[in-house]
Amino acid sequence: MGGFFGIVSKEDCVEDLFYGTDYHSHLGTKRGGLAVLKPDGFQRVIHSIENDQFRSKFDSELDKLRSQSGIGVISDYDDQPLIIRSHLGNYAIVTVGAIKNAEELAEQAFRRRRIHFSEMSGGEINPTELVATLINEEESFETGISRVQESIEGSCSLLILTRGGIYAARDKWGRTPVVLGRKNDSLAVTLETCAFPNLGFAVEKYLGPGEIIFFNAEGFEERKPAQAQMQICGFLWVYYGYPASSYEGINVEWVRNRCGAFLARRYPVDIDFVAGIPDSGIGHGLGYAAEAGVPFKRPFVKYTPTWARSFLPQSQAVRDLIARMKLIPIRELIEGKRFLFCEDSIVRGTQLKETIRRLYEVGAREVHMRPACPPLVYACKFLLFSTSKSEWDLAARRAIRELDMESVADLSPFTRPETEEYRAMEESIRRRLNLTTLKYQRLEDLVQAIGLPKEKICTYCWDGAEMPPSKAKA
């Protein structure tokens, strides 16, 4: 998904920029970049972080980047930040999100002539360059950013570093968070609030959906108000987000504990202990164990120094390798035991199947599973949620196919736990994974655990609901 951090200060702020950006490393493993404003212009550094951590790539270059303002980004796959020269002036830009209609927007730009884009290695257009092109066709940054928000399908939050300060904008429907913080004579903006505490920042403002602000060391001002409707991604609390972060003022770990508690109340089972598949499953598992009154143990430990989050690499073979190598079983805790795993979700299920197989190999007696969210029936249309090429890679969709219901036009029965279709799908997934029992979180329980009204949370991947309604069939 990616993440960003920007800062303006009355003093040198590069160290805060460096660590603030690094606190987003769990969101991407492809590219990292920093851009600062110096007296003689903009300076940027971009590195691949596929095989090395962000800190190890940038640490030696910090002395060259001394500045009182800058922006940084951890990117899904594209080179960022970009330095742009335009009639609006020179600026640096970073973006987070997913532009699902990028080709269509590029073709529209080509029809206006005298516009070109550089291609990335896969033949795609750099989405941040596309966003900059749309902005540059307008008469101000505010109108340009507004055009981006209105034109794209998907989502796009962004930071623009100018000579006067930084523009920060949250995507139109607020699918990703953007948060402003303050420390003495410094203002910073972040996607993950976990970047703030250790740097001494306190949350000043959660930007609303579609809101644009401009800030410098003197303060901030609203350039475009937030809209009332919001569709923040519910999966942020379930999986993507860091436990120490808060979105809309709601902490991630707190929500995960509540998710586990709801699972324990609704689906009790006789077991010896509870576990969570690290890392995101731990918060859910702790909540389950506390509510159920059973011990929480770690039959798997994760080797963290070198292995990335396994959903990020493009290759399924690499994802499977990471999943296998980073989780180390502890036979003394597993052999002869009946235990329950909490997991954030079941996406494809391929890695989970291998994990369960290994548990039985080292002597597990029973393995129960309680995912913290409902089955993923629909592929995300709004963020870079998964690298899967097909919606039928999803475990729920594969189960639907195995039930010979691939051609069914209306998938809504598979999203409602009271239907026969849902129960058959859940049972098919249980058998394929070789679980003793499998019970998914109910959507109403997940929404209650988050604590926002359902209409403010994007639940599309679970129930197909979206706002605004799509013109095309899902």
Residue 313 pLDDT greater than 80, yes or no: no
Least confident of 142-146, 156-160, 240-244, 300-304: 300-304
Mean pLDDT of 130-134: 94
- Among candidate residues 17, 401, 429, the one with its CA nearest the CA of residue 186: 17
Contact 128, 84 (CB under 8 A): no
pLDDT at 304: 66
- Provide the pLDDT confidence category of residue 121 given band limits of 50, 70 and 90: low
- Could you give the CA distance from residue 109 to residue 115 in angstroms, rounded to a whole number? 7
- Could you give the CA distance from residue 241 to residue 335 in angstroms, rounded to a whole number? 33
Residue 470 pLDDT greater than 80, yes or no: no
Strand 3-9 to 69-75 pairing: antiparallel
Which residues, 6 or more positions from 226, have their beta carbon under 8 angstroms from its beta carbon? Answer: 170, 174, 207, 208, 209, 210, 211
- Provide the pLDDT confidence category of residue 311 given band limits of 50, 70 and 90: very low
Q: Which helix (H) or strand (E) holds 183?
A: strand 179-183
- Could you give the CA distance from residue 394 to residue 347 in angstroms, rounded to a whole number? 5
Mean pLDDT of 120-144: 87
- Provide the pLDDT confidence category of residue 170 given band limits of 50, 70 and 90: very high
- Could you give the CA distance from residue 261 to residue 108 in angstroms, rounded to a whole number? 50
pLDDT at 392: 86
pLDDT at 386: 63
- Could you give the CA distance from residue 241 to residue 252 in angstroms, rounded to a whole number? 7
Domain architecture of the chain: domains with CATH: 3-230 (3.60.20.10), 250-453 (3.40.50.2020)
pLDDT tens digits along 11-36: 999 999 999 999 999 898 788 999 99
Residue 384 pLDDT greater than 80, yes or no: no
Mean pLDDT of 235-249: 96
pLDDT at 474: 34
pLDDT at 463: 96
- Inter-helix orientation angle 127-136/102-111, to 10°: 40
Name the phi and psi angles at 414, rounded to 5. -80, -5
- Could you give the CA distance from residue 415 to residue 398 in angstroms, rounded to a whole number? 14
Residue 310 pLDDT greater than 80, yes or no: no
- Provide the pLDDT confidence category of residue 327 given band limits of 50, 70 and 90: confident
Contact 7, 16 (CB under 8 A): yes
> What's the predicted TM-score (pTM) here?
0.92
Output 454-459 pairs: Cβ under 8 A, ≥24 positions apart: 455/229, 456/229, 456/230, 456/231, 456/232, 457/231, 457/232, 457/233, 457/234, 458/173, 458/175, 458/231, 458/232, 458/233, 458/234, 458/382, 459/234
- Could you give the CA distance from residue 384 to residue 173 in angstroms, rounded to a whole number? 16
Mean pLDDT of 217-240: 96
- Average pLDDT over the chain reads 91
Mean pLDDT of 146-170: 97
Mean pLDDT of 334-352: 94
**Highest averaged pLDDT of the listed ranges 16-20, 298-302, 348-352:** 16-20
- Could you give the CA distance from residue 95 to residue 82 in angstroms, rounded to a whole number? 10
pLDDT tens digits along 354-380: 899 999 999 999 999 999 999 999 999
- Provide the pLDDT confidence category of residue 280 given band limits of 50, 70 and 90: confident
Least confident of 83-97, 102-116, 312-326: 312-326
The percentage of the chain sitting over the pLDDT mark of 70, rounded to a whole number, equals: 91
pLDDT at 103: 87
- Could you give the CA distance from residue 90 to residue 456 in angstroms, rounded to a whole number? 37
Positions of E strands within 207-254: 212-216, 219-224, 232-233, 246-247, 250-251
- What DSSP character marks residue 330? -
pLDDT at 319: 58
- Provide the pLDDT confidence category of residue 469 given band limits of 50, 70 and 90: low
Neighbours of 15 (CB within 10 A): 13
β-partners of residue 6 are 71, 189
pLDDT tens digits along 389-407: 688 899 999 999 999 887 7
Which residue do the tokens 């904008």 mark? 169
Contact 33, 94 (CB under 8 A): yes
pLDDT at 123: 62
- Provide the pLDDT confidence category of residue 473 given band limits of 50, 70 and 90: very low
Contact 207, 178 (CB under 8 A): yes
pLDDT at 242: 96
* Diameter over CA atoms, the chain: 70
Q: Following DSSP, what letter does each residue of 256-272 receive, concatenated?
A: HHHHHHHHHHHS----S
Contact 82, 58 (CB under 8 A): no
Mean pLDDT of 114-132: 74
